Structure 1
Amino acid sequence: MSRIGKRPITVPAKVQVTINGSNVQVKGPKGELSRDLPANIVLTQEGEILTVSPIDDSRSSRQLHGLFRTLISNMVEGVSTGFQRRLEIQGVGYRAAVQGRNLVLNMGYSHQVQIPPPDGVQFAVENNTNVIVSGYDKEIVGNTAAQIRAVRPPEPYKGKGIRYAGEVVRRKAGKTGKSGKK
């Protein structure tokens, strides 16, 4: 059995979990999420504790056991506290701003890049170079951060571009120049 799948999920007091057959709904102060479980995974609730278990010992059940425990745990954490991803912009003249709900990026192109937020995602900008993507669905927050990073990924020569906070970009040496031989 999966080590991760064996761990129980503790539900906070402000979060409500509803299990309807193979559908799980989680409501909390930040929002509401739902997910369908596969047929070979069973979710049981005993008071404040959720337990995920496989029906049998088949390969597919064992594969999905830890995955769905983590997905349900992320749903509970997301509706109670939420998730956020931080991005850093490096480069002369590169900056970000929030106009309305949209994120506007000036990344050295001939035009500004506008990114509208999906439902449940908010943008915040600090010091024109730090972007914070926050929301209650971890998958959507991560995908939105990846879309922002894809506008101008960090390049290896000068390190300019958009990177995740704490991301290390391996730098390359540039050209060595003329050697003097003809």
Structure 2
Amino acid sequence: MSRIGRKPIQIPDGVEVKLENNQILVKSQKGQLTYALPDGIGVNIDSKTLIITRRSDDNRQKALHGLARSLIANMITGVSQGFTRVLQIYGVGYRAQVSGDKIILNVGYSHPVEFKLPEGIKATVDEKQTTITLQGIDKQLLGQVAANIRAIRPPDAYKGKGIRFADEVLKLKPGKTGKK
């Protein structure tokens, strides 16, 4: 069996898990998420644990077993604790502002760039306007939004100017050396 797929998932207090029509619904006060189970993957729900099972031992079923377990565990973590992603802005005059459901970025272009946040994602900017904190319950959507914001101005390879993840480490290239 899959090592990841056979691990039981603990259901914290305040989280409700339902199985209806081969779809899992995870709900709490922060929101709700749904996931359609792939063919051959089943779920056993006890009082406070969830166990993912599979019908056969072919390679596709083994891969989907671990994937389904990871996605369901991320859904439970998302609705109980939530996920956070932090972006840093480096560069002289580079800054960000939050205006309603939009992030307005001044990152070296001739115009400010407006990025509309999807429903379910909240953003805050610190007082220096150089750190963007994104929060949400859907891990996949949060990661995609963070990647889309980073793609507006990826970090430069020589000076490091641009938008990067807070835990991202850049290896800067050396510049040209002068003639002798």
TM range (shorter): over 0.9
- Describe how 1:20-169 pairs up with structure 2 within 5 A: 20-126=20-126, 127-169=128-170
Q: CA RMSD in A?
A: 0.8
Measured after TM superposition, the shift of residue 85 of structure 1 is: 0.3
Which stretches of structure 1, 4 residues or more, deviate above 6 A after TM superposition? none
CA distance in structure 1 between the aligned counterparts of 2:134 and 2:13, rounded to whole angstroms: 26
CA distance in structure 2 between the aligned counterparts of 1:29 and 1:50, rounded to whole angstroms: 20
* TM-score (normalizing by structure 2): 0.97
- Tell me which amino acid in the other structure corresponds to 1:163: R
Measured after TM superposition, the shift of residue 21 of structure 1 is: 3.3
Measured after TM superposition, the shift of residue 156 of structure 1 is: 1.1
Instruction: Spell out, residue by residue over 1:122-166, the C-alpha distance to the aligned partner (whole angstroms, 9 max, x if none).
Output: 010012000011101001100000000001001110011111012
CA distance in structure 2 between the aligned counterparts of 1:125 and 1:177, rounded to whole angstroms: 41
Pairing 1:6–2:13 present:
no
How many residues are treated as equivalent by the alignment? 179
Instruction: Spell out, residue by residue over 1:58-114, the C-alpha distance to the aligned partner (whole angstroms, 9 max, x if none).
Output: 111101111110000000111111101000000000001111221110001011111
- Tell me which amino acid in the other structure corresponds to 1:175: K
For structure 2, the residue ranges without an aligned partner over 5 or more in a row are none
CA distance in structure 1 between the aligned counterparts of 2:56 and 2:108, rounded to whole angstroms: 55
- Tell me which amino acid in the other structure corresponds to 1:72: I
Residue number in structure 2 paired with 1:174: 175
Measured after TM superposition, the shift of residue 13 of structure 1 is: 1.4
CA distance in structure 2 between the aligned counterparts of 1:155 and 1:2, rounded to whole angstroms: 41
CA distance in structure 2 between the aligned counterparts of 1:151 and 1:84, rounded to whole angstroms: 20
Q: Helix, strand or coil: the match of 1:140? A: helix
Measured after TM superposition, the shift of residue 178 of structure 1 is: 2.3
Q: Helix, strand or coil: the match of 2:151? A: helix
Pairing 1:17–2:17 present:
yes
* TM-score (normalizing by structure 1): 0.96
For structure 1, the residue ranges without an aligned partner over 5 or more in a row are none
CA distance in structure 2 between the aligned counterparts of 1:140 and 1:156, rounded to whole angstroms: 27
